[in-house]
Structure 1
Amino acid sequence: MKHPLPVRPTHLCVLRLSALGDVCNLVPTVRALQRQWPDTRITWIIGKGEHSLLTGLSGVEFIVFDKASGLAGMRDIWRRLENIRFDALLHMQQSIRASVLSLGLKADIRLGYDADRAKDRQTWFTNRRLAPHPRAHVLESFMDFARALGVEDTSLAWDIPIPPEAHAEAERILSARPGLVISPCANPRLRNFRNWSPEGYAAVIDHAWREHGLTTFLTGGGSDQEQEMVSVIRSCCEQAEPVNLLGKTSLKGMLALIQQARAVVAPDSGPVHMANALGTPVVGLYATTNPERAAPYCWQQYVVNRYPQAVATYQKKKDATRWEARVRHPKAMSLILPEDVTKQLDRLLLDTATQRVPE
């Protein structure tokens, strides 16, 4: 028997473990669900680092899954939730790991993506599918889950909490200086060629200082790859002296820094979506991923988009490429020129001189 979708759910489960940018894009869906049903319990199963970013999100009960814990971690979650039956499981993570985790959760409705958007055999683990939504942005794909349940008000809201100590941390770093945040490195996954050149970043840093009086703060983790990138960036700067913050801020501190910054420049990675969630002007650098699908949602008009050229140059495909296809070539980001970025940054700063969030 096919269970009907809940008209007024009492308890919903959101399953989305990663990544930082994706969970930022998912928050508006949670807010839409909360507006529709203020009394509905929402349990979100989330990754460890992602929880650090969103901890304190109002009205949400988090269950943290550490990917390093493997099957033992899944069993722990199943034990914690063994006496709970959800009205609906919103299966928003397209990975085998998440699908296996979903097997131990009790829910009459197991809602997942439609056949065109589903990956890693996700349709094997769900009993309801979203309506097709061709060429959807990631944020809109998440919002489709709310629409499927009958939510009509899909206006965007985030309200990600930042504690006072994180604001104080950012204020100490900025020291009243107008700041540009650059997070130069994306996640160092296999064949994830999203990083731009250090020489390009250095040219933008010098331009931001010379033309706009902005001090650049370089953020990220403390990996050897990131340290080497930042070292080369700083050595290539001719006028400005960027501040190296690698590994020196908490995630909440980084949120506060981004919120207080004048603008952000980064490749397709968590910081562009953090900036978007906080209303901070952002220039995203895109060549290996499709910005129409994954750009910072409210700032898409300021993206540096070399994805079409990268597809034509390195995949030899134009119209035939899949909407979500990635260009996995180490030279793709070299199609972005420094003047492409400085031009968009100038435009962004001019357009947001009096209003940070675009209409």
Structure 2
Amino acid sequence: MTIADREPVADKWVSNGASARWTIEGRPYLNFAGACYLALHREPALRQAAMDLIASGAPFAQQLPPNYGIRDAIFETVERTAAEYLGTDTAVFFATGYLIGQIGLCAYAGPGDHLYLDAGAHYNLVQATQLAGLPVTGFAHCDAQALQDAIAGTLRPGERPLIVTDGMFATTGDLAPLDAYARLVAPLDGRIFVDDAHAFGVLGDNGRGTAEHFGVEDVAHAGVTLSKAFCAQGAAMGCSREAAERANRLPPKRGANAGSTISAAVSTAALRYMSANPSRRTQLSDLARHARQQLRQLGLQVSNSPSPVLSFKLGSRSDMRRVQHRLFERGIYLPISDYLGAGPEGLFRCAIFADHSIEDIDRLASELGAAA
């Protein structure tokens, strides 16, 4: 990477991160990077949950898995709270969202399933399909027709299609067309498995994610993370009790640390906070809608998605880097992403947070227009 193609935050100290305001090398910045969309990290209820847990003398991590028959009130509470939020019989909590595929998918997939993997799926899903020991066929990114063609050409007698996809794609903010996928698999007794890390808490009338948004929770099963919108840590899978038993027997669940008790306590507090304060999600949705309108008025091509992630290109990579540095000089950080789905030139990934204001978004649009 040349000096010209370098992030303006490279080698700089960042503090107070995670939402609309960053401090970089002691200077305040308006921030549009990250994934803590609901901006809960400063909420007293979450911080108090962490302090209460420490004051109680609880261990920082739980070593023994449920297979030994041991019950742990902290982890049972977060699983019960996650199940209530997700509207499922129970839930399984684990240490990181990267295990969504290896625990969630592998708990649902079994003999007779043929996995159909979106070409843009997250790394954890790709690796999970490799571990599942089942037939795997790829299909073009977010393309229902390509999925239909793949199923028609590869599904063998006696097999069921199990679609494996992200719900909201991390880099672009685009949504997988789960409603179209559901119509394809329903006549075939098929199902959908969703890594809903970025949509959980953000989409759906109750914040349950992409499947709720599209009205397909009857055929779609999801793994979710608490470290994105909910600003906590850890992950969960809402499921039946039978699926939870299978998940707890899987090597990644049985062989790994159960996770941080502090993370579990803060996750519980975050879920309860959003259950009691759904207006925060509405506020975020309104801000994202306003940002999308403002960027389109600049002539930028922004996808028609309800997500709080807005991605766009602005000329060549060198053009985007020039604009990015100009914004940074003006006290705004807008990242250029090279992550999954960004393409060889990269793109601007603009994350909207619940603690942004209309004025923040208007300022970004004004400065973008001046710098472009």
Would you call these one fold, judging by a TM-score over 0.5? no
Task: Report 1 or 2 for greater relative contact order, CA contacts < 8 Å, sequence distance ≥ 6.
Answer: 2
> How high is the TM-score relative to the length of structure 2?
0.33
| TM-score normalised by L of structure 1 | 0.34
